[in-house]
Amino acid sequence: MDTYDIFRVASAPLDIVWADRDANLAAVDAIVDKVEDGADLLVLPELFSTGYVNDPQLLADIAETNTGRTVDRLKEWASRRSIAIAGSFLARTAHRYYNRAFFIEPSGEETYYDKRHLFSLSDEAKVYAQGVTNKPIIRFRGWNISMIVCYDLRFPVWCRSIRNSYDLLLVPSNWPQVRGYAFEHLLIARAIENQAAVVGANRGGEDEYGKYDGLSYIFDSNGKPVARRDERTGLLYAELNRGRLRTQRERFPVVYDADEFRLTAPEL
């Protein structure tokens, strides 16, 4: 077995304090020190440091660049615990705002992805800019990892792992309980159809849009739940096995029968 055939994932269902970056960074600082030794990756929820903000003046005050305080803290935590940290934060580029996913490695290497599918039933599509790049493929400790954000999950072509391009899909989310059945089953579907493990890293607590507790999941490439919950810390953990993943793909190579969709949006 290769060194990184076993990949250890943790997910933190943070109860986000709305628009209070200091409180949320302090909460994650405490969580990072509680992550079990040997973990490779910690996945935080969507917009973990602020929650969903749509007020233009407040956005101007608290949105950050990739060189801001939030990313600095992420790099500090990743280095301190020798783990990668993923999630999304409220980002600013020039005068536009983005729901920006991040993957920060212990070395300080950083990868970003701006949420492509903005939730048009809310103001998100009015105040945030749409991402214009495809989801990334990150090579980390021998695993190919991709990430999307919340509502992106509903669009299977966008999530497609073309010819097994990724082994693990991360989905930081603020998905309310009222649509919890859909969230769980969409995560399962994305795992099965892509033969890849999936982490649905939902937030906890509640806000004006709903309640969120109990909707964080980790599924293996067969769509089976593999997470265990630490009752003391609330963190979810799973050990993913790349050897089993390779065997599954070799014995049932559906990838060779899959349609190779091409995205035609002009920005892509």
Query: φ, ψ for residue 29 (rounded to 5)?
Result: -55, -40
| Catalytic-residue membership of 115 | yes
Return the percent helix, strand and coil in the chain, to nearest 5. 30, 25, 45
Task: Take residue 136 and report the two structure tokens written for it.
Answer: 């990334």
| Catalytic-residue membership of 46 | yes
* Helices marked H in the chain: 21-34, 56-62, 69-81, 124-127, 156-159, 180-194, 242-251
Catalytic residue, candidates 105, 135, 150, 159: 150
Catalytic residue, candidates 46, 64, 105, 124: 46
Contact 15, 205 (CB under 8 A): yes
| Catalytic-residue membership of 109 | no
Catalytic residue, candidates 75, 115, 124, 135: 115
Angle at the Cα of 247 from the Cα atoms of 241 and 252, rounded to 5 degrees: 130
What residues are annotated to the active site?
46, 115, 150
